[in-house]
């Protein structure tokens, strides 16, 4: 301690001149860049949870503000909002996951019964023109072995699904943990960001509004397109007289919300089962409808909905959405448009500042 205090006294009593301003600024800039990179690496594992917590905070903010006026307690209003938001989010996920797993297990047994026993002979008697195809399949394919391989792969997929479910539960808990503070301390966070960012009040409000509008557009565009896909897929199930068209329409609509999944998780196995049952026309109709109408409609409607609300070209919004999904995964459906929208907003601010600097000064009155 004595050595440390002596060194401190020597440093305080030294007559060295401070570094010039430009060198000090350069050192600070380098330290800031290094710190920003290290902070990003620290925050990187939490980016999915932070993105979804920010999304939910924007969507649930009106409800939380209304509850805060009623109960006059920020902690209580935020807690009630979290319970409501959790129920709205977890219930559909649990419903879809349970139905999907049950149908997968049931489909394996059904396919097994279709590929064994007298089914092929019955199908050949009903559809004689399939005889050459069935003979080729029998000669070149070992159907029981294929079924066994598919069952093993299903077991591997189930293990991976279980592991992914554990990771999803952890991310969900982190999302609601961050959401609590984003809702409770919204004013403090806004003021801290406004003081930190090199923007004036009007520019910061414009940037914040752009972020909120992007999140609203992305979420509501996703939900609207998913509802349309579920309705169209369920409509074809009803037209082909498949069982429970309303139920499967709801399931396909909910699956369409999830990135990298979609309604094809349901209608593709339905096509396979129809074909194995000899209903080739229905299988082809369902496959064409699912591929052309249900599968491609989101690539057309979603960019239009999002781009129109953000005053962004449909092609640019499509690139932002698909590029975000490819770059960062499921949360890219929010993060991709958000990055593009924020970048465009900063570009507008920069352009407006240049216009102000380059505009001629007002003429003096004589």
Query: CB-based contacts of 147: which residues, under 8 Å, 6+ apart?
Result: 111, 112, 115, 116
Statement to judge: residues 201 and 177 lie in one domain:
no
Same domain? 85 vs 201: no
Q: Which of 153, 186, 219 is the last residue of a domain?
A: 186
Same domain, 217 and 330: yes
Lowest mean pLDDT among 65-74, 130-139, 286-295, 327-336: 130-139
Residues 181 and 232 in one domain: no
| pLDDT per position as a tens digit, 317-326 | 778 877 887 8
Q: Answer yes or no: is 225 within a domain.
A: yes
pLDDT category of residue 345 using cuts at 50, 70 and 90: confident
Give CB contacts under 8 A, 24+ apart, made by 26-33.
none
Q: Residue 300 falls within a domain, yes or no?
A: yes
* 172 and 253, same domain (yes or no): no
Inside any domain, residue 26: no
Check whether residue 169 and residue 117 sit in a common domain: yes
Higher pLDDT, 359 or 26: 26
Mean pLDDT over residues 188-212, rounded? 84
Range of the domain at 264: 197-352
Report the candidate in 138, 134, 149 with the shortest Cα–Cα distance to residue 278: 134
Q: Which letter does DSSP use for residue 125 in this model? A: H
Residue count of the chain: 366
pLDDT at 366: 47
Q: How many domains does the chain have?
A: 2
Q: Do 201 and 280 lie in a common domain?
A: yes
Is 322 within the bounds of a domain?
yes
Q: What is the rounded distance in angstroms from the CA atom of residue 364 to the CA atom of residue 366?
A: 6
Record the tokens describing residue 242, joined without a space.
């498949």
171, 223: one domain? no
Distance of CA 56 to the CA centre of its chain: 12
Do 272 and 331 lie in one domain? The reply is yes
Q: Which helix (H) or strand (E) holds 329?
A: none
- pTM metric for this prediction: 0.68
Alpha helices in the chain (DSSP H): 2-13, 21-43, 47-71, 74-115, 119-126, 131-140, 143-184, 186-196, 201-239, 245-257, 264-276, 280-288, 297-309, 314-328, 332-358
Both 120 and 214 in one domain: the answer is: no
The answer to whether residue 277 sits within a structural domain is yes
Q: Are residues 174 and 275 in the same domain?
A: no
CB 282 within 8 A of CB 293: no
Q: Is residue 336 part of a domain?
A: yes
Both 174 and 237 in one domain: the answer is no
In tens, the pLDDT along 116-131 reads 545 556 655 665 655 5
Two tokens at 350? 């920069």
Residue with tokens 């914040």: 208
Q: Where are the alpha helices (DSSP H) in 116-200?
A: 119-126, 131-140, 143-184, 186-196
Q: Which position has the token pair 């007002």? A: 362
């Amino acid at each position: 301690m004595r050595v440390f205090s002596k060194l401190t006294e020597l440093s305080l009593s030294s007559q060295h001149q401070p570094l010039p301003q430009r060198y000090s600024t350069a050192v600070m800039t380098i330290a800031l860049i290094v710190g920003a990179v290290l902070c990003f690496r620290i925050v990187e594992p939490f980016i999915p949870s932070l993105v979804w917590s920010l999304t939910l905070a924007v969507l649930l903010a009106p409800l939380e503000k209304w509850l805060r006026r009623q109960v006059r307690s920020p902690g209580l209003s935020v807690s009630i909002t979290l319970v409501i938001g959790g129920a709205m989010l977890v219930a559909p996920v649990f419903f879809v996951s349970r139905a999907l797993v049950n149908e997968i297990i049931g489909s394996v047994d059904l396919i097994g019964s279709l590929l064994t026993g007298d089914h092929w002979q019955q199908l050949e008697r009903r559809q004689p023109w399939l005889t050459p195809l069935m003979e080729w399949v029998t000669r070149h394919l070992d159907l029981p072995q294929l079924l066994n391989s598919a069952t093993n792969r299903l077991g591997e997929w189930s293990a991976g699904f279980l592991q992914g479910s554990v990771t999803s539960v952890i991310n969900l808990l982190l999302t609601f943990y961050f959401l609590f503070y984003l809702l409770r301390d919204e004013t403090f966070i806004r003021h801290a960001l406004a003081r930190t960012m090199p923007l004036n009040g009007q520019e910061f409000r414009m940037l914040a509004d752009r972020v909120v509008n992007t999140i609203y557009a992305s979420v509501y565009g996703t939900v609207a397109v998913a509802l349309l896909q579920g309705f169209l897929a369920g409509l074809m199930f009803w037209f082909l007289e498949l069982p429970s068209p309303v139920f499967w329409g709801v399931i396909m609509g909910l699956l369409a919300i999830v990135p990298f999944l979609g309604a094809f998780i349901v209608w593709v196995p339905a096509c396979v089962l129809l074909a194995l049952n000899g209903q080739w026309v229905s299988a082809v109709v369902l496959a064409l409808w699912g591929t052309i109408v249900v599968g491609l409609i989101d690539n057309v409607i979603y960019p239009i909905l999002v781009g129109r609300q953000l005053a962004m070209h449909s092609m640019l919004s499509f690139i932002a959405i698909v590029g975000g999904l490819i770059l960062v995964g499921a949360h890219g459906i929010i993060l991709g448009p958000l990055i593009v929208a924020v970048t465009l907003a900063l570009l507008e601010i920069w352009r407006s500042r240049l216009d102000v600097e380059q505009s001629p000064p007002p003429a003096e009155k004589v």
